[in-house]
Amino acid sequence: MKSKRYTRVQRIWALPNSMAALVDTRFRGYDTVAGVMEYVWISHPATGSLPGQPEMRYPMESTRRQNPSTYNGLAMHIGDINIQNPLCLAPMEDVSDVPFRLLCKEQGADLVYTEFTNCEALVRKVKGAFKKIELDARERPVAIQIYGSAEDSMEEASRIVTDQGADFVDINCGCWVKKIAGRGDGAGLLRDLNKFRAVVESVQRGTHLPVTVKTRLGWDPDNIVILEVAKFLHEMGIAALTVHCRTRKQGYTGDADWSWLPRIKEASPIPLIANGDIETPAHAKECLDLGCDGVMIGRGAIHSPWIFSHIKHYLATGELLPDLSLAERIEMCIRHLSDSATYRGERRGCMTFRRHYAGYLKGVRNIANLRRDLMEFDEVAPIRERLYRFLEEYKAEEDAAEAAA
């Protein structure tokens, strides 16, 4: 990696956790073309200090590279972030917190996004809003997603998340929930494209970082506006566009309509990230084959955080990895739970973690009693003990069934 302003480059991609905590929030530079996340610390030749952010805002570029270790040689760039076939973890309310983002990063996610955060809450310094945008150096590159429709507040929120250390700023223009979209925020912007433009411009004014947008096809089937949106966002210099291939009216019902993806690519050169119903490696490959520059996974990652590594293996080899065993799932679940308890405090961490049990235990038979018991605990130790006991009972039942056969 070369820089006209900073010449001495240290590669510190093998940092232990104790050192990773010392990395400055202005730390930048990522390269995953070889399939391995590599952190690059660019130091000033005279002082050795980390540089500030460059005063520029360029659109992300997509290029083809010849690299047999990757699926199709597609590279995307957001500022100094250079990622091959990027797999992104979607911003999900009450799910995409620091422990979950770190777990998905470990499992192969290239880009992670915070939970969406209201601009007004950030401007008013609401404690809970700032908790949502806390970052960890180990999860980089990471975007902070904000939403709102008040231009002054969105501009100020953009400044706040820039100071927080985001690698880029993402604008939520796709939340379909009535209390959000009904007041003109999120997907509500799809009904007023002039307002949509104004909100995007306000975020750009508030930051020197790359700005990206996540949205939907349109408000309803009679008002599909995504082609127009893709065109004007590219003209405005937006770095990338993520499209959930449903309308606001659909919410999460029906199927995501991926047939729009090649039409969007034909209408605009803006880098495109596909979202919606991507729950298997084959789904991810199909979206990339349709011309997308990357894919974003939301609900599929909740019940299978390991989906990112499975997709990468499939793209590289064409082979599907076997699903994790129950023992492997439980070990990952307990580790995730422990991290959540450390991050939020034991009682709150255990309570907020309850939404993840259904995912880790998906497809496992006879779990009604187990799930009932897990919901009663607010400490890690009894949850760990109950999960291990269930695993032993499950193995004993399997062994007995095999012996009887």
The whole-angstrom distance between residue 142's C-alpha and the CA centroid of its chain comes to 8
For residue 132 the two structure tokens come to 């949502």
Residue type, 192: D
Which residues lie below 8 Å from residue 404, measured CB to CB, with a gap of 6+? none
Strand duo 38-43 + 30-31: pairing: antiparallel
DSSP secondary structure letter of residue 383? H
Beta carbons of 241 and 233 less than 8 angstroms apart: yes
Q: How far apart are CA 405 and CA 396, in angstroms?
A: 14
Q: How far apart are CA 207 and CA 72, in angstroms?
A: 33
Q: How far apart are CA 347 and CA 385, in angstroms?
A: 16
DSSP secondary structure letter of residue 322? P
Among 119, 175, 245, 333, which one carries the catalytic annotation?
Answer: 175
Q: How far apart are CA 181 and CA 187, in angstroms?
A: 5
Which residues lie below 8 Å from residue 183, measured CB to CB, with a gap of 6+? 149
Which helix (H) or strand (E) segment holds residue 142: the answer is strand 142-147
Tell me if residue 333 is catalytic: no
For residue 63 the two structure tokens come to 């290029």
Active site residues: 175
